[in-house]
Amino acid sequence: MTLSTFIRLILIGMGVLALAACRSEVPPEAAAGVTEATLPPRSTPLPAVPTVIPPGAEGNAIRMVVRPVGPAADAASAADDFEAAVLERSGLVVEVQLMERYAEGLAALCAATGEQVSVAWLNAPTYAAALARNCGMPVLQVERDGSTGAAGSIIVSANSRRSGLQQLTGSTFCRLGYDDFYSWFVPSLVIRANGLDAANTPQKIVEQDTTAALIQAVAAGECDAGGVPADALEDSDSVTVIATTIPFPYAVLMMPVEMPLGQRLALAEALKGIAASSADAVLLRTLLAQDSLKPATTEDFTELMDFMSSTRLDFAQLGN
């Protein structure tokens, strides 16, 4: 082998090594033609959502808040049978809740939601407060002796020289208690509606135990004046009436605006049916002392609301 041939072989070998070094490195998997599979993403299960029990169904009773007219013990003992009668007539589960003050019914009504419903039987001032706060709508009202309400009267002795409200400034006034409707709350409204000084009209208060005792105290001159239901004076000639109000409703059933229409109608029809039933009416009478129940709308209480407005009281604030 000549020298030139030997040098040529060396150069060829070096060229082969250089080409091998310049080749791209191929992964073994690619060289084998194997592609890694991409797994689909797995969904994460959501937490279980509790089933909402509709109002009026078992486990979510519609609360009916009422201040019984008669003894609370009688109302409590009749509550279970009354609830059963409502369920039979309407298919709605109702729970009676007895209250001592109408303000409790107003609070329950205004706290109602679409999921937890309370209906309430209210009197005149709490009805006005419920409307002012947009807490509910009237559905039914109590009727007794053909009337849905009773007026209040302010009386003086038949021998008294006081002949008008303006002469009550500085007077002594008889009442049954600070929370009694006809002997104190109504006269207070009348005083305000007539623009009198509520702080000095009257100036002194004397408490009495019964309406009959109040009338007697006024007649005897022990008090200058007093407030009584107008129908309490049918046989009394010893006193003179110096003011009589509009009739105040006995009780108005208010239902929240969130309550579904179908439930409102079903409950109202069931209550009217119970009141008209010779067998079941006694159950409701322990609560409301009703002769019957009548449908009610806001138009039925226009005169009441006009009078309430004349007192210049903020009933929305009173409701709070």
Write the pLDDT tens digit of every residue in 225-284. 999 999 999 778 899 999 999 999 999 999 999 899 999 999 999 999 999 999 999 999
Distances (CA, A) of 114 to 17, 48, 264: 85, 22, 12
Residues 6+ apart with CB under 8 A from 51: none
With a cut of 70, say whether residue 125 has pLDDT above it: yes
In a domain, 215, yes or no: yes
**Which of 96, 137, 140 shows the shortest CA–CA distance to 259?**
137
- Looking at the structure of the chain, the number of domains it has is 2
121, 71: one domain: yes
Specify if 67 maps to a domain.
yes
- Please tell me the predicted confidence (pLDDT) of residue 39: 59
What's the mean pLDDT when you consider all of the chain?
87
Distance CA 223, CA 219 (A): 8
Query: Helices 302-310 and 186-193, interaxial angle, to 10°?
Result: 70
pLDDT of the residue at 250: 97
We report the CATH number of the domain holding residue 134 as: 3.40.190.180
In a domain, 51, yes or no: no
Q: Which domain holds residue 207?
A: 152-245
Which CATH number do you get for residue 228?
A: 3.40.190.10
Percentage of the chain surpassing pLDDT 70? 83
Domain ends where: 210, 227, 245? 245
